[in-house]
Amino acid sequence: MENKIKKVYIETLGCQMNKSDSERILAILSHFNYEETLEPKEADLLIVNTCSIRQLSEEKAYSRLGVWGKWKTQEGKKIKIALCGCLPQHTKENLMARFPYLDLAFGTQNIYELPDLINKEERVWAIRNSYVPEKDYGYIRKKDVNAWLPITEGCNNFCSYCIVPFTRGREHSRPFDTIIKEAKEIVAEGFKEITLLGQNVDSYGKDLEGKPTLAALLREIDKIEGKFRIRFVTSYPTDITDELIETVANSKKVSRYFHIPMQSGDTRVLKAMNRRYTREEYGDIVRRIREKIPEVIITSDFIVGFPSETEEEFERTLTAIDEFGINYSNIASYSPRPHTKAAKMVDEFIPEEEKDRRFQILNDKVKETSLKNHKSCVDKVFEVLIDSKKGDECKARTTCNKIVYFKSDKEIGDFANVKITSADTWHLKAEEV
Ligand code: SF4
> 164 CB less than 6 Å from ligand 1?
yes
Domain shared by 260 and 407, yes or no:
no
Domain presence at residue 140: no
CATH code of the domain in which 335 resides? 3.80.30.20
What digits encode the pLDDT tens for the residues 97-154?
999 999 999 988 888 888 888 888 899 898 877 766 677 777 777 778 999 999 998 8
Question: What total of structural domains would you count in the chain?
Answer: 3
Domain shared by 221 and 368, yes or no:
yes
Domain shared by 178 and 260, yes or no:
yes
CA dist 158 → 170, 265, 293, 331, 385 (Å)? 10, 19, 31, 20, 36
Domain shared by 202 and 309, yes or no:
yes
CATH code of the domain in which 407 resides? 2.40.50.140
Domain presence at residue 137: no
What digits encode the pLDDT tens for the residues 46-56?
999 998 877 78
Domain shared by 166 and 66, yes or no:
no
Domain shared by 394 and 362, yes or no:
no
CA dist 417 → 81, 193, 225, 401, 433 (Å)? 47, 17, 21, 15, 6
Best residue among 15, 108, 156, 157 to mutate for probing ligand 1, ranked by most atoms within 8 Å of CB: 157
Domain shared by 93 and 153, yes or no:
no
Cβ(286)–Cβ(261) below 8 Å: no
Of 22-36, 205-219, 310-324, the range with the lowest mean pLDDT is 22-36
Instruction: Look at residue 1 and tell me whether its pLDDT is greater than 50.
Output: no
Residue whose CA is at the smallest distance from ligand 1 atom 1? 157
Domain shared by 103 and 159, yes or no:
no
Whole-number pLDDT of residue 288:
97
Cβ(165)–Cβ(155) below 8 Å: yes
Whole-number pLDDT of residue 3:
67
For residue 43, give its domain range. 6-126
Angle, vertex CA 16, rays to CA 253 and CA 423, nearest 5? 60
Q: What is the mean pLDDT of residues 308-337?
A: 96
Q: Which helix (H) or strand (E) holds 292?
A: helix 279-292
Domain shared by 36 and 115, yes or no:
yes
Q: What is the reported pTM?
A: 0.88
> 156 CB less than 6 Å from ligand 1?
no
Residue whose CA is at the smallest distance from ligand 1 atom 4? 199
Cβ(77)–Cβ(99) below 8 Å: no
Best residue among 52, 159, 167, 276 to mutate for probing ligand 1, ranked by most atoms within 8 Å of CB: 159
CA dist 418 → 58, 414, 421, 432 (Å)? 42, 12, 9, 4
Which residues have a Cβ under 8 Å from the Cβ of 297 and sit 6 or more positions away? 256, 257, 258, 327, 328, 373, 400, 401, 402
Rounded CA-CA distance 360/134 in Å is: 43
Rounded CA-CA distance 218/222 in Å is: 6
Which residues have a Cβ under 8 Å from the Cβ of 195 and sit 6 or more positions away? 16, 146, 147, 148, 149, 230, 231, 232, 233
Which ligand 1 atom sits closest to the C-alpha of 263? 3
What digits encode the pLDDT tens for the residues 178-223?
999 999 999 999 999 999 999 999 999 999 999 999 999 999 999 9
Ligand 1 centroid to residue 200 C-alpha, Å:
7
Q: What's the start-to-end Cα distance of the chain, in Å?
A: 57
Whole-number pLDDT of residue 4:
80
Ligand 1 centroid to residue 234 C-alpha, Å:
9
> 384 CB less than 6 Å from ligand 1?
no
Q: What is the mean pLDDT of residues 341-354?
A: 96
Q: How, if at all, do strands 428-432 and 415-423 pair?
A: antiparallel
Domain presence at residue 244: yes
Domain shared by 365 and 386, yes or no:
no
